[in-house]
Amino acid sequence: MADKRIFSGIKPTGDLTLGSYIGAIKNWVELQNDYDCLYCIVDMHAITIRNDPEVLHRRTLEQLAQYIASGLDPKKNIVYIQSHVAQHAELSWILGCYSMMGELNRMTQFKDMSRKHSDNLNAGIFTYPVLMAADILLYQSDLVPVGEDQKQHVELARNIAVRFNGVYGDVFKLPEPFIPKVGARIRSLTDPTSKMSKSDEDPQGSVYIMDSPDAIMKKFKRAKTDSLGCVRFDPDEQPGISNLMTIYSSVTGRSFDEITAEFEGKGYGVFKPAVAEAVIETLRPIREESERLLSDRSQLAEVYRDGARRAAEIAEDTLNLVRGKIGFVGK
Ligand code: TYM
């Protein structure tokens, strides 16, 4: 088994988008051959906002199916559901006592969420990065593959680990964020100044993994562009086109120069459907395989049970070490 460990997760707060796929899952699939990986459905992170319980339940299983359908092999990786491994919550409490109010206050996502959810500004929204630090540190992770928006949280996990190690010696490995070179921030198709998000109120801005080919084509045809008429990578002057180029590059593997040459003199009427086609062909097998997997719940249950068992073994080793270091009496 490879000796470097990877941990990452996605919270089931919305149906997975092309942003989740390009910014996270696609890279996880590439990393699974070279690292010892844990890929989690972080359902405990999802409850900082109010969910319909039935929807959360459905999304959690759908997300598991989508991980596997995207190519994550549950034998090679540990694929599981966060709430099945109670050690996450226990370590989160402990690390909370080594996290400072000031540093949590500085988290950009906390500031955004406080604005968006001022009607339900619960303590979970504030301590959320501590739970994320626990997720990562519990498994002595070396690398955490995430999109750009999660980099600050991974850095915080590292800072908490440094602080804890400073008191008790080398308990935690120091994790590093692992950000893709292209596709770390896929933007909304209707508003290329903001990120494509699973919780976006405007479903036209996001492409969902489970969208039909027709819906995907329509969304790309309506994507916001500009009046310059050339396919060129320039995020300041042409944010919409640059976003479409990033998507096209991520799913075809072509460079920005190659894409510019391919669409030289062709206009957006040709470019947009070409991006849509490439995305449709990338997502089609994932959608079809997800649907197949979802039709056999017992197979999914086998995957998450086996994943939770394997994850808990590693988690318990770390927690035992932590408990002993801080002076808790062993059972
Ligand atoms: P979440 O669920 O918001 O997003 C999951 C992953 O997808 C990436 N991502 C994107 N990347 C590029 N463009 C986009 N438009 C886009 N949208 C989402 C995110 O950067 C992320 O990598 N707090 C985390 C979940 C989490 C976690 C963890 C991640 C909990 N514990 C431990 C890593 C390790 C979150 O809310 O991600």
Mean pLDDT of 57-64: 98
Is there an atom of ligand 1 within 6 Å of 20 CB? yes
Mean pLDDT of 57-62: 98
Is 143:175 a contact under the CB 8 Å cutoff?
yes
- Based on the fold, state whether residues 19 and 127 are members of the same structural domain: yes
Does residue 1 register a pLDDT over 80? no
- Based on the fold, state whether residues 287 and 316 are members of the same structural domain: no
Task: Note the pLDDT of residue 9.
Answer: 98
Distance 14 CA to ligand 1 centre (A): 12
In this structure, is the dihedral angle defined by the CA atoms of residues 47, 290, 40 and 158, taken in order, positive or negative? negative
C-alpha distances (whole Å) from 85 to each of 26, 91, 328 are: 25, 11, 20
- The residue whose CB lies within 8 Å of the most ligand 1 atoms, and thus the one to mutate among 7, 8, 20, is 20
Q: Give, using CA atoms, the residue closest to atom 9 of ligand 1.
A: 20
pLDDT of 276-308, one tens digit each? 999 999 999 999 999 999 999 999 999 999 999
- Based on the fold, state whether residues 171 and 96 are members of the same structural domain: yes
Find all residues with CB under 8 Å of 317, minimum gap 6, and list them. Answer: none
Does residue 2 register a pLDDT over 80? no
Is there an atom of ligand 1 within 6 Å of 147 CB? yes
Q: Give the CATH number for residue 46.
A: 3.40.50.620
pLDDT of 243-277, one tens digit each? 999 999 999 999 999 999 999 999 999 999 999 99
Task: Note the pLDDT of residue 116.
Answer: 86
Is there an atom of ligand 1 within 6 Å of 137 CB? no
Is there an atom of ligand 1 within 6 Å of 175 CB? no
| Locus of tokens 């402990």 | 94
Is there an atom of ligand 1 within 6 Å of 184 CB? yes
| Locus of tokens 């996450």 | 88
Number of domains the chain is built from: 2
Give the domain extent around 89: 5-179+297-326
- Based on the fold, state whether residues 71 and 171 are members of the same structural domain: yes
Strand (E) or helix (H) holding 160: helix 151-168
pTM for this model (two decimals) = 0.96
Mean pLDDT of 202-209: 94
pLDDT of 4-26, one tens digit each? 999 999 999 999 999 999 999 99
- Based on the fold, state whether residues 275 and 320 are members of the same structural domain: no
Burial of 64 (0-12, 13-18, 19+ CB in 10 A): buried
- Based on the fold, state whether residues 268 and 312 are members of the same structural domain: no
Mean pLDDT of 300-321: 98
Is there an atom of ligand 1 within 6 Å of 160 CB? no
CA dihedral 250, 255, 258, 262 (to 10 degrees): 10
